[in-house]
Structure 1
Amino acid sequence: MTADSLTRPDPADDPATFRCSVAARERDDPLFASAPPARRWLLVEHPGPWGFQALGGAGFSPAVVEAIDAFCGAHEARFQLIRRTAARGAPTEAGGRFAVVDSRIGHESVRWGRVDSPEALPAALADLEASTEPSDEPVYLVCAHGRHDACCAVRGRPVAAVLASGFADRTWETTHTGGDRFAANVVLLPHGLVLGRVPATDAVGVAERYAAGEVDPRLVRGRAGLAPAVQGAQHHARLALDEHSVDALAPLAVTNDEADPAVTTVRLAGPDGPLDVTVRERWIPSATPLTCSAGRTASMRTYELVALGGTRP
């Protein structure tokens, strides 16, 4: 990836082709409160090609698919295929490395293992202590799942290439992470922080900040595993407090308004003590599809700030 390649016209901006990421930018879609519900992650190395659905299109036997489904269901885990970028050099192997990542607050961890073939995955998942080893290295996942959505490939692959040039062992292209219209999407593990609209020119800086325990609130879609209302409350608190720490603003309690089901108050661990943030769920209709392949319009969810620390905006 050269500096010149970063300044060339982006194929996703071709006016002759509908691209959901372009439409989302034009609408200025709010990206926060859109991280997936995963509390853990199961990452399995696979060279591709990847089908529309990660697990169903991986070519695994029914026994392997069943074992992965059972593991993810039991552990509230999200399954992701991963592969090295072309810049990494080393080929990706089907059934090679795999990782189990815990993103729960206070339990953040990464464990890596290796199997000779996908058929060995069920046994490995049944005994993680024996089949995996803990790692202190963070993991950077960049959605580059072009068969799921063209924007993920067009915007994601350049970001993955730049990240791999600086952090080869930590960077992986991955399958659908959700929020195609926010491409390029980057997941920072083990914390499960999901970022959107990450420019290739900022990718290295994003990784460096994460290694230092910080994140840019403007790029944060949310922390995976937390309820959308909690993600929304954290977003508004981060902006109001100019809070960049990865571990800041952990949720302490969630209270739903009995009179208005759309209103939720989230108590967060603020820098000076508990902080109450009240948000209201709102659905915004879109005049264009939310993904490249949707074929129809839909509505998007967001969370408006009602009050922060007892003060209304």
Structure 2
Amino acid sequence: MSLDAAGVPPWGPARCSLASRAAGEPAIGTAAVARGFLVLEQAGSWGRAAAVESQLDPLLGKALDTVLSAVGGRFALLRIPGESTGSATGRPRIALVAGGLTTPTPWLLRGTVSDPGELAVLPWEALDDATPGRLRVDAPWLFPTEEPVMLVCTNGRRDRCCAIAGRGVAAEASGDRPGQVYETTHTGGHRFAPTGVLLPFGQGFARLDASLVEAALDAARSGRLAPELMDETHNRGCSALPKPAQAALATVQSRFGVPALTGWEVEATREDDGWTVRLRLGDDTWHTRVTESVDRSASRPVSCGGPPEPVTSWQVELVSADT
């Protein structure tokens, strides 16, 4: 078996995603927290810190990353699966903006931009708005779209599992759902590769394959989770929520078979030894108790080549249900 640049067998036990699967690590409550997203097309290679380590102007990349972080959002890059660097040179770039994640009606804007610098001066605090109207005043070239989009992490400079596991999934799913599946630079949670984020909902997924990506997109058209993605193996949670609330919502969705991606009212309260999370959807209410546990009998590296660490997970106890 050949070794990679770090001297590690690329398909060996150091592969964090394989170790996570072997340890039976649940994915619930692991989505990277973000209240909104700006995703910009950038062909070519990406570095570990892709915003400043790609063919995008690093000063602009840093500025966009900083301004999005300041409002609780997330900046990332995208590529069209299978497209060569040359074919993307000189044409306007795709830009995606997802907002309203904390409202009943998340929204997605899509457009192309010739000068990415235009993005730096937009009112990014508007990501929390229930409608995209404020952003569109300054960026009328961004248009509302009802077509959901899946971003699949493929950045091997951050972790080899994302490249090895993610690129094939993105390419295959993109062939069947063109314009709805893109490679992206970072979703967090390398050990759950192939990982994805579903826009505009900010819904995180783990251990994807092409058929699961397509199922997610098809169900999202009607604001639902696909049934095969509702379990603790795949459902990482909604990025707009703190991680304990992500875990509580994912558990209720799975246990009660409630596929709704929107319309949830979530209240999370920190206590000395855990969290109390109340979830409401229409006339139905669930009260849960969420604690974090450490399983020292199971371990996995958080990233490829890293040392083994105990498996941590969220434990969700249903206190009451009024349904």
For normalisation by structure 2, the TM-score amounts to 0.81
CA 15–144 in structure 1, closer or farther in 2 if over 3 Å, else same: closer
Residues 299-308 or 25-34, more deviating: 299-308
**Aligned residue for 2:81?**
85
Q: State the distance in 1 between where 2:97 and 2:317 align.
A: 38
* Equivalent in 235, 259, 281 of residue 244 of structure 1: 259
Q: Tell me, yes or no, if structure 1 residue 98 matches structure 2 residue 112.
A: no
CA 91–141 in structure 1, closer or farther in 2 if over 3 Å, else same: farther
CA 175–298 in structure 1, closer or farther in 2 if over 3 Å, else same: same
Query: Secondary structure in 2 aligned to 1:230?
Result: helix
Residues 210-266 of structure 1, C-alpha deviations (whole Å, 9 max, x = no match):
223321312210000201110111122122212222226x24322233xxx232111
Query: Secondary structure in 2 aligned to 1:147?
Result: coil
The answer (yes or no) to whether the contact 2:173–2:211 under 8 Å persists in 1 is no
**Aligned residue for 2:289?**
278
The answer (yes or no) to whether the contact 1:55–1:65 under 8 Å persists in 2 is yes
The answer (yes or no) to whether the contact 1:110–1:136 under 8 Å persists in 2 is yes
**Aligned residue for 1:5?**
none
* Equivalent in 22, 25, 32 of residue 28 of structure 2: 32
The answer (yes or no) to whether the contact 1:229–1:264 under 8 Å persists in 2 is yes
CA 89–65 in structure 1, closer or farther in 2 if over 3 Å, else same: closer
One-letter identity of the residue aligned with 1:129: V
* Equivalent in 141, 147, 160 of residue 170 of structure 2: 160
* Equivalent in 264, 287, 291 of residue 303 of structure 2: 291
**Aligned residue for 2:179?**
169
Residues 66-75 or 138-147, more deviating: 66-75
The answer (yes or no) to whether the contact 2:37–2:73 under 8 Å persists in 1 is yes
Q: Tell me, yes or no, if structure 1 residue 268 matches structure 2 residue 282.
A: no
Q: State the distance in 1 between where 2:283 and 2:48 align.
A: 46
Q: Tell me, yes or no, if structure 1 residue 130 matches structure 2 residue 128.
A: no
CA 90–57 in structure 1, closer or farther in 2 if over 3 Å, else same: closer
For normalisation by structure 1, the TM-score amounts to 0.83
One-letter identity of the residue aligned with 2:266: L
**Aligned residue for 1:42?**
38
Q: State the distance in 1 between where 2:81 and 2:50 align.
A: 17
* Equivalent in 253, 257, 264 of residue 267 of structure 2: 253
Unaligned runs of 5+ in 2: 1-8, 125-134
Deviation of 1:150 after TM superposition, in Å, equals 1.2
Deviation of 1:310 after TM superposition, in Å, equals 6.8
CA 251–167 in structure 1, closer or farther in 2 if over 3 Å, else same: same
The answer (yes or no) to whether the contact 1:41–1:77 under 8 Å persists in 2 is yes
Residues 57-94 of structure 1, C-alpha deviations (whole Å, 9 max, x = no match):
12443541343134203321111110101179994458
Q: State the distance in 2 between where 1:196 and 1:90 align.
A: 31
Query: Secondary structure in 2 aligned to 1:25?
Result: helix
Deviation of 1:143 after TM superposition, in Å, equals 0.8
Q: State the distance in 1 between where 2:321 and 2:144 align.
A: 43
Q: Tell me, yes or no, if structure 1 residue 214 matches structure 2 residue 224.
A: yes
**Aligned residue for 2:238?**
223
Q: State the distance in 1 between where 2:32 and 2:89 align.
A: 27
CA 112–14 in structure 1, closer or farther in 2 if over 3 Å, else same: closer
One-letter identity of the residue aligned with 2:255: A
The answer (yes or no) to whether the contact 2:275–2:291 under 8 Å persists in 1 is yes
Deviation of 1:179 after TM superposition, in Å, equals 0.8
One-letter identity of the residue aligned with 1:230: A
Identity within the alignment, %:
27
One-letter identity of the residue aligned with 1:172: Y
Deviation of 1:120 after TM superposition, in Å, equals 4.2
Unaligned runs of 5+ in 1: 1-12
**Aligned residue for 1:55?**
51
The answer (yes or no) to whether the contact 1:262–1:282 under 8 Å persists in 2 is no
Q: Tell me, yes or no, if structure 1 residue 183 matches structure 2 residue 179.
A: no
With a CA cutoff of 8 Å and minimum separation of 6, indicate the structure with the bigger relative contact order. Answer: 2
The answer (yes or no) to whether the contact 2:52–2:59 under 8 Å persists in 1 is no
Deviation of 1:178 after TM superposition, in Å, equals 0.5
Q: How many pairs does the alignment contain? A: 294
Residues 188-226 of structure 1, C-alpha deviations (whole Å, 9 max, x = no match):
110111111112343322221222332131221000020
